[in-house]
Amino acid sequence: MSKEKKEELSFELKIEKAKELLEKLSKPDITLSDSLDVYKTGIKELEEAEKLLDEAKQIFIVQDKQDKNEPF
């Protein structure tokens, strides 16, 4: 599996995990302590997903510049 494909899967999984955590936070029976733990975990997942997205953007930018510099 290519690096981009692995990152895409990882990105998708992190977003899915963040959605699941958001659902947990929406439940009225969650304790304050649990909600703080869930919140921290969700923020971590989103930060990691954002990092993966930024890395993918950089790969795209570099590839785009290389494509523009190559003669037809």
> Helices 3-26 and 32-69, interaxial angle, to 10°?
150
Decide: 49 and 13 in contact? Cβ < 8 Å: no
CA-nearest of 40, 34, 43 to 14 is: 43
Q: How many CB atoms sit inside 10 A of residue 10's CB?
A: 13
For 10-51, the pLDDT digits (tens) are 889 999 999 999 999 999 999 999 999 999 999 999 999 999
Answer whether 0.85 is exceeded by the pTM. Answer: no
Decide: 35 and 41 in contact? Cβ < 8 Å: no
Decide: 46 and 18 in contact? Cβ < 8 Å: yes
